[in-house]
Amino acid sequence: MKRASPLVFLGLGAAIATGALFLMSQAVPQTSTHSGSYGPPKKNVVNIFDTNLTMAGGQDLAIYTVPPDRWLTVTACQLVSGIGTAWIWGENYGGVFTPKGNTFTGAEPSGDAVGWVFRPGAQLVFRNTSTIGASISRYSVIGYLSRE
């Protein structure tokens, strides 16, 4: 009885592997409630930034007003200013300031905003809690709008 060449077994293995890969490529993915990518639609993404601002001591600066039919969730923020000033991010709703996060000094960038939620119609503000005026090198806010 004649033995098969090792090349025959190698070819047979390659044919089986190719067939298996072809069959796996034909599988239909499970359907999902999401179409395409995850995350909010582009029109609901909020991306705000500015540079080189000056604020008086104790002043608030409203940088965004939430639409009346949406909620804003902030996922990241940063503010960089000069040394000797202190800042806090917050929400101004109906004239009432509600702090978000902790007070920080201008020498250290703030960045603890993950998950802050702002009500419909509220303003996203930062407050110069120092008594002296201050310059802001830059600030940025990233978040998204939702109906709930």
Helices of type H across 1-105 = 6-25
β-pair partners for 5: none
Per-residue model confidence (pLDDT) at position 82: 73
Per-residue model confidence (pLDDT) at position 16: 78
Query: In angstroms, rounded to a whole number, what is the distance separating the alpha carbons of residues 71 and 83?
Result: 33
Tokens for 58?
Answer: 């104790």
- What is the model's pTM? 0.68
Per-residue model confidence (pLDDT) at position 92: 97
- pLDDT tens profile 31-85: 545 555 667 788 899 999 998 888 888 899 999 999 999 999 998 888 888 777 7
Per DSSP, the three-state class of 66 is: coil
Per-residue model confidence (pLDDT) at position 107: 57
- pLDDT tens profile 2-18: 676 667 666 667 777 77
Q: Tally DSSP H helices, then E strands, for the chain.
A: 1, 8
- pLDDT tens profile 103-134: 777 655 555 657 899 999 999 998 888 888 88
How many residues make up the chain in this entry? 148
Amino acid identity for residue 90 in this structure: G
Is residue 19's pLDDT more than 70? no
Sign of the CA dihedral running 40, 44, 66, 138: positive
What superfamily does domain 42-146 belong to in CATH?
Sf6-type phage tail needle knob (2.60.120.1120)
**Smallest Cα–Cα separation from 40: which of 141, 119, 148, 145?**
145
Per-residue model confidence (pLDDT) at position 20: 66
Confidence of residue 21 (pLDDT cuts 50, 70, 90): low
Secondary structure E strands in 45-119: 45-55, 60-65, 71-81, 86-93, 96-105, 116-118
Tokens 């600030």 — which residue? Answer: 139
Query: In angstroms, rounded to a whole number, what is the distance separating the alpha carbons of residues 86 and 88?
Result: 7
